[in-house]
Chain A
């Protein structure tokens, strides 16, 4: 089954990508409040959340509410 010498590395690579993605999510606090995160999608919100990378004064964010 020479094809497996091709398919197995491809699959292992996909697994490794998955593992890397999991580590990324772990490092970025994706599992710190699972019960809260499950609930959040139920509450659509129009109030601004500040993106983590750029804090800004709240005055600028108030306007976003239509």
Chain B
């Protein structure tokens, strides 16, 4: 529900989906329709509630029956509906409402999703994979023929045909590796692709030479099969990242894409974010997020800055107050003047800080590349030594010597080594996804397994951001009155009160909500107010420094409701699990000291920093880094985004701000915070498997290298050894799926529509 859902999400229970219907939403939804080449309108709706083929059929059937829809196609994988509208100017809102009636919450998907869906990189990899597969298959046919005894003319013909297939195949399918290897070499580095590219090239050159010479042994099949295996790994790796990426973009946006601008003639018009200039007067309705930094011109309201600053409790705002972009307007409609353009707003500054903070992480070198730095020089030196040794031993037979030296390079080509990491990560990502955790890339998993410290944001991370009432007044009349008034407001405090009190509410008449102050009405014939303490004090007796919100009947005595934050489910367990594993947990909050201390106390977190600005948060993490700590940061707010990027590795809940979700390495979809410790456990398991895989690859080399140096490696041996070791490594990685079942976490809790769309 674009731009309007509160952090906790409006209700999205099947059959009773509410449609966000503010003016900004309508305008934004309308702006999401694009004209296509045939002069029709197209819109892509993200419908997270699509779960099965039945949903697909229901939605498509319902949509196609509409007069304004030309075509509708649902993508079950992406959970999107691709709709062609009769008229490019038509309003998709009725369609969204129709879907809501069926029980499906729908929001326009990100602009550009249509292009992203084409996924050119993935298609390219798949094409390379198909070419390599085709080549490997056919060359294998000739190789098997030769190994089985085809000789003489037949063998030479087979070698020639293999060469004709292998050269274009390697030229095409080898590109990802060549490009990556060149890139690394140009920067003066070594990565895993350097030895791979070298081995494949040398295998090809040697085989071409042998083919021309009429030699007995060619390695075409080894070269192409190697590419095939590696491309499989690379494609799976890509697929995993692509899936996580599309899932994250599938989460509804929280920040608005545009604003309603008051025109000179007094009417309102929608403008895209980029065209909102300073000085423009915006109209911001209740339940909308502030699009750019503004100063309120008229109107009063309550605002929720939890995503912006980490302050948990809503506060009142009125004319003259400045609001940061991303602040949620809770209760009243306000007119406000834009202070800065979108690209200079608070949100943009946060993203700037975030990219600055990210550069620190660029220093991280993935484990496979670290291995390559050791591995490549050793192997290449070994090949050189072999060459020299053979030249000396054979008395200058450089042809044989070169053959043996190159076969050393081929057999040591780090096929298994290059598969050891990505395959394990792909399996782990699949397991995490089943547990409702999206992982952006494999390096995140490596980094997570190394952490020695965890830092949590408070509001929205350790807590849900929804307040709860601590104590209930004794007077039944007051309870009944307060409940009656609370039910009339959408203010989070009012909702908390209404949820906590169970008394029969009194009869309410003549109600008014004064944004920024509270609700006033006649309850059972008596005037009553629920809201800010000083405002309630105007009609009743109230003690000095009474807390808000308060309730009183006119002339009576005011009662304050003590609000506290609710802890996120599983917060205690997650903190305990990490602490028990020897990882100290700290809290880093932008909120007031008292609230921070209270939550920390409940969770048993000793190290608390409160009132932290975004810059403070980065500073804290930088300090930890300088002290040699590898920190996990878990946070959700805009103010956390930079810190998430600065940390060694980071996680965010799906309810986090857009910037926070983008910055984090992992996004967990379930409300339960135990996802954090569970993910960490998976990362540890994966690291163990990766280490085992490296062990297997090294063991393989220990056997293969002496054989190769001795000149005993034929293409058949090479093919068997390399495929064998690759399959072994893959099989070992698959064990990750099984270990996943041995300690089930909170799998019982399904990911609900609400969680995804919130």
What interface size band does chain B fall in?
A: 35 or more
B57 touches A55 (CB 8 A): no
By a CB distance below 8 angstroms, the chain B residues around A43 are 53-54, 56-57
Given contacts A47-B61, A55-B40, contact A34 B77 (CB under 8 A): yes
By a CB distance below 8 angstroms, the chain A residues around B54 are 43
Q: Within the complex, what minimum Cβ distance (angstroms) separates B290 from chain A?
A: 37
Q: State A15–B138 Cα separation when bound (angstroms).
A: 9
By a CB distance below 8 angstroms, the chain B residues around A57 are 70, 86
Please report which residues of chain B, range 57-83, place their CB below 8 angstroms from some CB of chain A when the two chains form the complex. Answer: 57, 60-61, 64-71, 73-78
> A1-25: contact bitstring with B at CB < 8 Å (1 yes, 0 no)?
1001000100010011011001100
Count of chain A to chain B residue pairs whose CB atoms are closer than 8 Å in the complex? 79
Q: Residues of A within 8 Å of B, CB-based: how many?
A: 32
Q: State A53–B469 Cα separation when bound (angstroms).
A: 60
Given contacts A22-B130, A26-B126, A47-B65, contact A36 B56 (CB under 8 A): yes
Is A63 an interface residue when CB atoms closer than 8 A count as contact?
A: no
By a CB distance below 8 angstroms, the chain B residues around A36 are 53, 56, 74-77
| Set B38, B68, B117, B134: member contacting A32, Cβ < 8 A | B117
By a CB distance below 8 angstroms, the chain A residues around B61 are 45, 47
Q: State A42–B56 Cα separation when bound (angstroms).
A: 11
Is B509 an interface residue when CB atoms closer than 8 A count as contact?
A: no
Q: Within the complex, what minimum Cβ distance (angstroms) separates B425 from chain A?
A: 22
A1 touches B154 (CB 8 A): yes
Is B189 an interface residue when CB atoms closer than 8 A count as contact?
A: no
By a CB distance below 8 angstroms, the chain B residues around A58 are 64, 66-70, 86
A52 nearest CB neighbor, chain B only? B71
B70 touches A19 (CB 8 A): no
Q: State A56–B69 Cα separation when bound (angstroms).
A: 11
> B612-642: contact bitstring with A at CB < 8 Å (1 yes, 0 no)?
0000000000000000000000000000000
A55 touches B56 (CB 8 A): no
Please classify the interface of chain A as helix (H, G, I), strand (E, B), loop, or mixed, using the class held by over half of its residues.
Answer: helix
B76 touches A39 (CB 8 A): yes
A51 nearest CB neighbor, chain B only? B71
| Set B52, B70, B134: member contacting A50, Cβ < 8 A | B70
By a CB distance below 8 angstroms, the chain A residues around B40 are 55
Q: State A48–B64 Cα separation when bound (angstroms).
A: 8
Q: State A15–B135 Cα separation when bound (angstroms).
A: 10
By a CB distance below 8 angstroms, the chain B residues around A40 are 53, 56-57
Is B546 an interface residue when CB atoms closer than 8 A count as contact?
A: no
A26 touches B71 (CB 8 A): no
Q: State A8–B145 Cα separation when bound (angstroms).
A: 12
B52 touches A32 (CB 8 A): no
Q: State A48–B682 Cα separation when bound (angstroms).
A: 47
Is B746 an interface residue when CB atoms closer than 8 A count as contact?
A: no
By a CB distance below 8 angstroms, the chain A residues around B127 are 23, 26
A19 nearest CB neighbor, chain B only? B134
Is B273 an interface residue when CB atoms closer than 8 A count as contact?
A: no
Is B131 an interface residue when CB atoms closer than 8 A count as contact?
A: yes
Q: State A56–B84 Cα separation when bound (angstroms).
A: 11
Given contacts A26-B127, A32-B117, A50-B70, contact A15 B64 (CB under 8 A): no
Q: Within the complex, what minimum Cβ distance (angstroms) separates A22 from chain B?
A: 5
| Set A34, A45, A49, A59: member contacting B57, Cβ < 8 A | A45
Q: State A36–B60 Cα separation when bound (angstroms).
A: 12
Q: State A45–B57 Cα separation when bound (angstroms).
A: 8
Q: State A25–B64 Cα separation when bound (angstroms).
A: 26
| Set A4, A33, A47: member contacting B76, Cβ < 8 A | A33
| Set B67, B69, B78, B131: member contacting A19, Cβ < 8 A | B131
Is B161 an interface residue when CB atoms closer than 8 A count as contact?
A: yes
B84 touches A15 (CB 8 A): no
Q: Within the complex, what minimum Cβ distance (angstroms) separates B506 from chain A?
A: 52
Q: State A1–B117 Cα separation when bound (angstroms).
A: 50
Please report which residues of chain B, range 186-216, place their CB below 8 angstroms from some CB of chain A when the two chains form the complex. Answer: none
Q: State A26–B122 Cα separation when bound (angstroms).
A: 11
By a CB distance below 8 angstroms, the chain B residues around A4 are 154
Contacts A/B (CB < 8 Å), 6 sampled: A8-B161, A23-B130, A33-B78, A36-B77, A42-B53, A43-B57
Q: 9 closest A-B pairs (Cβ-Cβ)?
A: A39-B53, A36-B76, A43-B57, A50-B71, A33-B75, A47-B64, A33-B77, A55-B38, A35-B76
Report A's interface with B, CB cutoff 8 A: 1, 4, 8, 12, 15-16, 18-19, 22-23, 26, 31-36, 38-40, 42-43, 45, 47-50, 55-59
Report B's interface with A, CB cutoff 8 A: 38, 40, 52-54, 56-57, 60-61, 64-71, 73-78, 84, 86, 117, 123, 126-127, 130-131, 134, 137-138, 154, 161
Given A47-B65, A48-B64, output 10 extra A-B contacts at Cβ < 8 Å.
A12-B138, A18-B134, A32-B75, A32-B77, A35-B77, A43-B53, A49-B64, A56-B70, A58-B66, A58-B69
